[in-house]
Amino acid sequence: MKFKLIVVAAMLMAATICFAAKQGSEDIISVTQHNIKNDGTPIGAALNELIKRSYGKTVYFPAGCYNLTEPIILPLDYVKNVNLLLDKSAVVKSDSHLEALLKVGYSEMKITDRSHRRFSYIEGGVFDCENADNGILLNGLKQMVQLRNLSVVKGHKT
């Protein structure tokens, strides 16, 4: 009897974890599932368009090489916040000269409610700044930006 109870409890716990994982996965958008290439092919405005469609979510970059033709731009406004999560083997770079690879708080510059905190979370990956003046630019109005487990390499002004 005790064994059956333990088995039933374990099955319920597993079902709960699976349900929670499925619910949370809707808030994570993988760039490669939206035709963003991770093979070094130049990426244009499509990435920033995906970010605009992902307000309130986390955009995930699987392992690979992301060759930007324009900076990744995250919004300033809290209600339109987007977080970035990069695989540890994801490399963000540009073959053309850019001011920065990532600009945090540089789109949607109008703030409707100044009482909100403007939090951004960016984790993982490598930002290769060989052709960028800056790796990551932060707008001074953007509050609580957290950078975790990422590398910025070959920066000139970084």
pLDDT digits (tens, 9 = 90+) for 36-59: 999 999 999 999 999 999 988 999
> What was the pLDDT predicted at 34?
96
State the residue for tokens 């789109």.
107
Q: Where does the pLDDT of residue 108 fall: very low under 50, low under 70, confident under 90, or very high at 90 and above?
A: low
Average pLDDT over residues 135-152: 81
Summarize the confidence of residues 55-78 as an average pLDDT. Answer: 91
Report pTM.
0.76
Do the beta carbons of residue 113 and residue 81 sit within 8 Å? Answer: no
What is each CA distance from 21 to 27, 105, 156, in whole angstroms?
Answer: 10, 29, 41
pLDDT of residue 56: 86
Residue 9: pLDDT above 60?
no
* Confidence check: pLDDT of 83 > 70: yes
CA–CA separation, 158 vs 134, rounded Å? Answer: 5
Counting DSSP H helices and E strands in the chain, the numbers are 2, 13
CA dihedral 106, 108, 110, 115 (to 10 degrees): -90
Stronger pLDDT, 139 or 135, i.e. the higher one:
135
